Structure 1
Amino acid sequence: MFKRSIILTAVSLVFSSNVLAKVETFPAASFCGENITKRNEAFQKLLKQEGNAEKAMQRLVTEQVGRDARSHAFVYNPSFERSTRQFTCSIPLSDEIGKFKVNVHAHVQGMNPGRPGGCEFSRARRVHDGSDWKVFTFNSGGFWWSDLQQNDGFVNFSKDMDNEYERSSSLQLTCRTTWDQGIIKLQHIELEY
């Protein structure tokens, strides 16, 4: 009887350990930022259009782009060159992570259906080739904001990925809004593994 209970306990531990998952949450305000190179290129175009540095600067500093300290979200609503600008979230991965699920939680407002604007996932890995460090990027799909089912503006997207237990790697989420209008308020990104 005692052996039987030990065997049943061992078997239940084996099966229950596969059910438990570790979940890490990354607030977007801390892990996301606008691509500065693309923003600066867009600002140079705006400067030429406006012909007035003060007007162009006023437009830049009053737009809704960056972290929202109250909600720990990253807000993205550029006021010029919306099609060419983007933001990236960089989530560190470790060699303890193999297959994982990434969950993106956001609030969108004013997105027109059928307009291109969304996010693309990639996994970046930093490798030393013997003489220098190289970064390799592996793209793995994405989504359109307007295709996601909304619940009062709140949207969620989940995707399965694989880090292959590699070190010096990160998950990159590169996003943009639609060309004409729409506000993205990216709340947080979760990893389940």
Structure 2
Amino acid sequence: MNKSKLSIATLFTIASTSALSQTSVFSGAAHCSEDIVKKTSAVNQLIASKGDLKALKEVTLENVGTTDNGYFTFNPTFSRTSRYFNCSVPLNENVGQYQLTVYGTTQGLNNSFGGCSISHIRKINDGNSEVWLKYGTGQGFDWISISEQNNSSKQYVNFSTSLDNSYQEHSILSLTCRTTWQQGTVSVGQIEINY
């Protein structure tokens, strides 16, 4: 009899916990974009070295931007080491500890550094006005570490970690991402927050 009571109580606890958790899903296409200042600087350098017409053609043909299926894809053909993209999703006062999962694809990566660092951006009052401050979480991932290194075809990958928003009401989760230095395409499909 005690075992059945314990089992029912355990099931009730699990069901209650599941009912209380919430998941928010954000598409890469809607929430990621290239850093425009870095891109503008890179385009100006490309124009200076190749001329207007050749530079315009290269910019137009590179695989950077949103896709029809909801991904943000990043494979720049010039100034790869200085260009990056950001993904930002809103958090609110209902979010304390949460599980972050980033879903994406990789293709043709080489063995050089390229990944995402994770930060929180929070609005605080400094006594005179409200300002936005960026706090690193000390967490992130390398695209190669979540991919099969011997596989150059398109791979579906994901990264998951636990973070804490501390129930801050004006907060943003921010990912700053690069692809690998010499070659390779990375794409963010979905960012999932489970709290």
135-144 or 148-157: which moved more?
A: 148-157
Q: After the TM superposition, which residues 92-111 of structure 1 pair with which residues of structure 2 at under 5 Å, given as runs? A: 92-111=90-109
* Equivalent residue, structure 2, for 1:61: 60
16-25 or 118-127: which moved more?
A: 16-25
1:139 to 131, 136, 147: 136
- Give aligned-pair identity as a percent: 34
1:121 to 111, 118, 122: 118
- TM-score, normalised by the number of residues in structure 2: 0.87
Please give the per-residue CA displacement for 1:138-182, whole angstroms capped at 9, x wherever unaligned.
112211101114496111100100000001100001100011100
Instruction: Could you list the structure 1 runs, at least 4 aligned residues long, displaced by more than 3 angstroms after superposition.
Output: 8-16, 149-152
- TM-score, normalised by the number of residues in structure 1: 0.88
Deviation of 1:62 (Å):
1.6
127-136 or 166-175: which moved more?
A: 127-136
Please give the per-residue CA displacement for 1:74-94, whole angstroms capped at 9, x wherever unaligned.
111111001100000000000
* Equivalent residue, structure 2, for 1:175: 177
* Equivalent residue, structure 2, for 1:77: 75
* Equivalent residue, structure 1, for 2:15: 16
Deviation of 1:128 (Å):
2.6
Q: Secondary structure at the match of 1:166?
A: coil
Deviation of 1:13 (Å):
4.5
Q: Secondary structure at the match of 2:181?
A: coil
Deviation of 1:15 (Å):
5.0
Letter paired with 1:62? L
C-alpha distance in 1 between matches for 2:121 and 2:31: 15
Structure 2 CA distance for partners of 1:118 and 1:78, relative to 1, 3 Å: same
Question: What is the root-mean-square deviation of aligned Cα atoms in Å?
Answer: 2.0
Q: Secondary structure at the match of 1:30?
A: helix
Deviation of 1:53 (Å):
1.2
C-alpha distance in 1 between matches for 2:155 and 2:166: 34
C-alpha distance in 1 between matches for 2:107 and 2:79: 19
Deviation of 1:184 (Å):
1.0
Contact 2:104 2:186 in 1 (8 A): yes
C-alpha distance in 1 between matches for 2:9 and 2:189: 40
